[in-house]
């Protein structure tokens, strides 16, 4: 017998000029704060999809770990995943109040939220994070390697070995350790999704070590995808351009963040909420034929 799909009555879509959809520079002076930074004092506040993201069950019943989920892109991913029906482990470093706010948003969507603080530069913690996540959620289906660290300097000599080491440990070592630990836990159909960057293709000199790590993560994504597919696990990445997160006022001097994103075709940075749907799709069965890919969300700055 033929199956007839019911027609749902949905409201009309209202189109918005993408150039005017969100805040544009110049941005006001921000209260100084240290990395990784907090959402609380940002002007304007980032949009993580709190008001507008509507789920449709794309990830219902799945369990996800999102690193750096206290704010920025990580929070937007956690909110979207929860509203799509997934339970979420919220990993963060130090910003407890931001992590608590993400937890509240996840739970408000009817999903389970587990908050686990820790330093991803420690191999033992990365392994512990995966183990705790599986224990507390019962299983693991999605790993999002999103946490990162950056420092802005004007000359090569200004980048200390200590800073270089911290950036690489956070941005490259940690995703490798986490992915390796998760590989035996993820089922066929599971996903690893990495946050890379336009910096991996078009590096800025003042972000030299950070740009190097993002190039490395692109290579890691493509190589790991070939190994992971032997187990039926997909590995992909999203490459943002400029995004309005605590990273920006937390690491950049006024002359750089004041007009942040003005060089894109939209003449503004992205908001975290604009990236989250890409992570939802990549984690869902709808992307079943997608692996080893890097999807750009750069505001038209470069073909990724």
> Which tens digits make up the pLDDT trace of 66-98?
999 999 999 999 999 999 999 999 999 988 999
Say whether pLDDT at 41 is over 90.
no
Say whether pLDDT at 1 is over 50.
no
User: 143 phi and psi, to 5 degrees?
Assistant: -120, 120
Residue 250: which pLDDT band, with cuts at 50, 70 and 90? confident
Distances (CA, A) of 57 to 8, 68, 97, 106, 113: 15, 24, 28, 14, 17
Task: Read off the pLDDT of residues 141-195 as tens digits, 9 standing for 90 and up.
Answer: 999 999 999 999 999 999 999 999 999 999 999 999 999 999 999 999 999 999 9
Q: Other C-beta atoms within 10 Å of 281: how many?
A: 14
Residue 40: which pLDDT band, with cuts at 50, 70 and 90? confident
3-state secondary structure of 192: strand
- Residue 278 CA, distance from chain mean position: 10
Judge whether 130 and 65 are in contact, CB under 8 Å: yes
Say whether pLDDT at 296 is over 90.
yes
Give the span between the Cα atoms of 193 and 215, in whole angstroms: 15
Residue carrying structure tokens 């520079």: 25
- Domain extent listing, the chain: 63-297
Task: Domain 63-297: state its class.
Answer: alpha beta
Give the span between the Cα atoms of 177 and 170, in whole angstroms: 10
Options 173, 201, 206, 210, the catalytic residue: 210
Tokens of 105: 């948003």
pLDDT of res. 32: 61
Q: Which of 214, 234, 215 is nearest to 224 (CA)?
A: 234
Q: Is 173 a catalytic residue?
A: no
Distances (CA, A) of 83 to 58, 223, 277, 280: 9, 31, 11, 10
| Residues 6+ away with beta carbon under 8 Å from 150 | 35, 167, 207, 209, 210, 247, 251
Give the span between the Cα atoms of 296 and 288, in whole angstroms: 19
Task: Read off the pLDDT of residues 124-133 as tens digits, 9 standing for 90 and up.
Answer: 999 999 999 9
Task: Read off the pLDDT of residues 145-159 as tens digits, 9 standing for 90 and up.
Answer: 999 999 999 999 999
Give the span between the Cα atoms of 94 and 296, in whole angstroms: 29
* pTM of the complete model: 0.94
Judge whether 75 and 98 are in contact, CB under 8 Å: yes
Give the span between the Cα atoms of 183 and 141, in whole angstroms: 10
Burial of 222 (C-beta count, 10 Å sphere; 0-12/13-18/19+): middle
């Amino acid at each position: 017998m033929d199956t007839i799909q019911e027609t749902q009555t949905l409201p009309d879509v209202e189109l918005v000029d993408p150039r005017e959809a969100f805040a544009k520079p110049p941005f006001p002076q921000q209260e100084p704060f240290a990395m990784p930074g907090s959402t609380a004092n940002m002007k304007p506040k980032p949009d993580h999809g709190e008001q507008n993201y509507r789920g449709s069950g794309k990830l219902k019943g799945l369990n996800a770990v999102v690193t750096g989920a206290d704010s920025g892109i990580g929070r937007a991913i956690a909110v979207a995943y929860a509203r799509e029906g997934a339970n979420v482990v919220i990993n963060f470093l130090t910003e407890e109040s931001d992590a608590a706010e993400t937890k509240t948003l996840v739970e408000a969507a009817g999903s389970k939220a587990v908050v686990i603080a820790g330093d991803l530069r420690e191999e033992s913690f990365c392994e512990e994070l995966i183990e705790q996540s599986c224990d507390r959620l019962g299983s693991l289906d999605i790993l999002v390697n999103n946490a990162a660290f950056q420092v802005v300097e004007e000359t090569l000599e200004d980048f200390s070995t200590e800073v270089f080491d911290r950036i690489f440990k956070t941005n490259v070592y940690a995703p490798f350790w986490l992915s390796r630990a998760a590989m035996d836990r993820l089922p066929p159909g599971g996903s690893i999704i990495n946050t890379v960057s336009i910096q991996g293709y078009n590096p800025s000199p003042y972000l030299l070590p950070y740009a190097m790590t993002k190039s490395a993560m692109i290579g890691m994504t493509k190589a790991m995808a070939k190994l992971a597919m032997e187990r039926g696990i997909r590995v992909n990445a999203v490459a943002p351009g400029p995004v309005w997160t605590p990273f920006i006022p937390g690491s950049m001097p006024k002359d750089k963040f004041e007009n942040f994103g003005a060089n894109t075709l939209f003449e503004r940075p992205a908001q975290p909420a604009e990236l989250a749907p890409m992570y939802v799709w990549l984690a869902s069965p709808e992307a079943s034929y997608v692996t080893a890919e890097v999807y750009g969300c750069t505001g038209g700055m470069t073909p990724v």
